[in-house]
Structures are given as structure tokens and as C-alpha cells.
Structure 1
Amino acid sequence: MINAVVLKVHNGHAESINSRIQRIKAQGRGFRNRERFRNAIYFHLGGLDLYPAQVRKANSTHSIR
């Protein structure tokens, strides 16, 4: 607690990631093994762009509101 006040740091980002991982775990209702759970985390939190190039080009010409 003292370090948080003195250094003005927090673990909000880590807690956010942990919360999202727990949501993936709950949605999965159990995984067969750790590798599948790890892959689900990478898939949902990896930040990959899964859209083909044609879809990205079409979406970039339209304004998003």
C-alpha cells in the first residue's frame, strides 16, 4: 500500500487482463487441458487482426459512428 501511494503505481492493467481471462474460463465451462485454455487466451487477448485484406479495405473507406 505504501509503495502504491509513494510511487503512484497500480495493478489495474494486470487486474483487467486477469478479469478477461476469468471470463474466458467461465465461457469455456472447462477445458480438456491447459494447452487449449492457453490457446483460448491467446486467441481472445492476442490482438490479432483476423479479417482478410479485402474486408479491411472495405471497412476503412466507411466512417464508423
Structure 2
Amino acid sequence: MIYTKLAPMKKFARTIKERLANVVSYCTHGITNAVGEGINSKIQSVKRPVGCYRNKENYKTAIFFYCGGLDLHPH
């Protein structure tokens, strides 16, 4: 039960309560899902300009090309 009349504090307390397992996991292991979210963001940016790909293989190739850091002009 939350014993404050301040709405922002109530919201903060509820958020912590809902995500307590994640907070404890971060404090215990020191890792987050930020890397996974970053990779997902890159994948979504590959899909965005085209809208869709004709088949999964072309989409997979585009993801590997974009996320793989390939140099188009090797020296």
C-alpha cells in the first residue's frame, strides 16, 4: 500500500513494484536488455525504407549486411 498523496510518487512506486524483478536482476548482474533493444532498432531501420521484402532470405541478407558492419570499399 502506498501512503502518499503525491501522484508522481505513487506512479513511481507502482512502476518499481511492477518491475522489481528487473531492478533486482540489474543490481545482481549489472546487465540490461539495451544491447538487444539496439539490435532490434537496427533491424527495424532496415525494414523501414523498403516497407517489406519479397521473401525472408532477402530480408535476412539485408539485416546481415546492415548489422554486420561490412565495408563497401575495402582497402
Q: Which runs of 5 or more structure 2 residues have no equivalent in the other structure? A: 1-21
Secondary structure at 1:39's aligned position in 2? helix
Letter in 1 for 2:56: R
Q: Between the two proteins, what is the percent identity of the paired residues?
A: 38
Q: 1:26 aligned to 36, 39, 48, which one?
A: 48
**TM-score scaled by length of structure 2:** 0.63
Between Structure 1 and Structure 2, whose CA radius of gyration is higher?
2
Partner of 1:61: none
**Structure 1 vs Structure 2 CA RMSD:** 1.2
The letter for the 2-side match of 1:10 is T
**Correspondence list, 1:1-65, <5 A:** 1=22, 2-53=24-75
TM-score between both structures, scaled by the size of structure 1: 0.71
- Report how many residues are paired: 53
- Unmatched segments (≥5 aa) in structure 1: 54-65
What do residues 19-62 of structure 1 show as CA deviations (whole Å, max 9, x unaligned)? Answer: 01011111121100110000110111111122142xxxxxxxxx
Compute the displacement of 1:10 (Å).
0.7
For 1:41, give the aligned amino acid. Answer: I
Paired with 1:16 and 1:52, the residues of 2 have a C-alpha distance of 26
